[in-house]
Amino acid sequence: TTVDRKVRRMKLISPTGVEVDIGDTLQPNEYIGMCRREIMDKFLRDRAIAFGAVPITGLVTGIDVPEDHKTSDNQYTIHYQAYEEGKSAGTPKDMNVDLIIGADGANSRVAKAMDAGEYNFAIAFQERIKISEEKMQFYEEMAEMYVGDDVSPDFYGWVFPKYDHVGVGTGTVVNRPAIKQYQKAIRDRAGDKIAGGKIIKVEAHPIPEHYRPRRVQGRMALVGDAAGYVTKCSGEGIYFAAKSGRMAAEAIVKLMEGGKRLPNQEEIERAYLAPYDKLYGPTYTVLDILQKVFYSSNGAREAFVELCNSKYVQQVTFDSYLYKRVQGNNPLDDLKLLGDTIGCLIKGYSIAKPDAVFSNPVESQKRL
């Protein structure tokens, strides 16, 4: 199976150590699936091959884009190094294609070739830590989320259960050079629960902070991280990568009418981008606002944790995460939540310690 663990409980820990348990609102068949990318990616790759995709083990080194690709049917040329099993050196090869869907991550070569524009990004850092079976029992169906400027000045730290280990990590946009300092802090905050564990793998990845300025150019389209489809607050991107990939592919296949014609940029934008933005645009917007409000200072983080004591907040939060749409349509509860939010923010700022001051004026301007 591609799902290692089914998380049904979450513990949220504030900067001062206040803990809130979340999960009572979940239905018996609801859970957050935890997986390892190497397992899930192989599953998706094998399934694509079973449906007729032709895999090529290679590294793209360049893409030639015709100057008139927005108005003509001239093909694109992909240059790549092809690799064979048992050989370390690749063989230079070319491929001419009618369309390109760039699903090649935050450092997308397709995005650069099509002049998609830049975006700001976070660095996510994670250590996979093997802990004892006894300690692992605590994380059977439990994930932990730590907030505080010690673990991240603008995000959160986490302990997520995996197959036979936990993933312990954090992320930041505004102070990327200090990521290892924040990683040490999340290990310290987890404390005895991961004590004695062995680090079996270290992972670090750039995470886009917003959409690329241009996601379709001519007959080139971006999906997933390459397009910037990662939500604020949660930092989730896997679902949106898979969903956008499917939506783009289905839209383009339909436009091609069985291979009789090639779609143009306007048609791809109308058939792929417009439906995607209609479905998920509000989700990105709301989560962006929430991150700016509640991850910006220790006072706001204390308020966020206290608010999560509310069963209504838990219901809305989990439903929004599980079903990828902004939930909450009870006007009275929403009005009460507004009042509670103001009260919790006032209280949070009164008890929280000031955030540490940092400065990185040069590196913070870097974009992908």
How far is Cα 93 from Cα 314, in angstroms, rounded to an integer? 53
pLDDT by position in tens, the chain (length 368): 799 999 999 999 999 999 999 999 999 999 999 999 999 999 999 999 999 999 999 999 999 999 999 999 999 999 999 999 888 899 999 999 999 999 999 999 999 999 999 999 999 999 999 999 999 999 999 999 999 999 999 999 999 999 999 999 999 999 999 999 999 999 999 999 999 999 999 999 999 999 999 999 999 999 999 999 999 989 999 999 999 999 999 999 999 999 999 999 999 999 999 999 999 999 999 899 999 999 999 999 999 999 999 998 888 888 888 888 877 667 777 778 888 888 999 999 999 999 999 998 888 899 99
284, two tokens: 């990105």
pTM score above 0.85: yes
Residue 269 DSSP symbol: I
Q: Is 40 exposed, middle or buried (0-12, 13-18, 19+ CB in 10 A)?
A: middle
Query: Residue 245 — φ and ψ, nearest 5°?
Result: -60, -45
Q: State the Cα torsion 250-251-254-255 to the nearest 10°.
A: -150
How far is Cα 233 from Cα 294, in angstroms, rounded to an integer? 9
Q: State the Cα torsion 134-138-142-146 to the nearest 10°.
A: -110
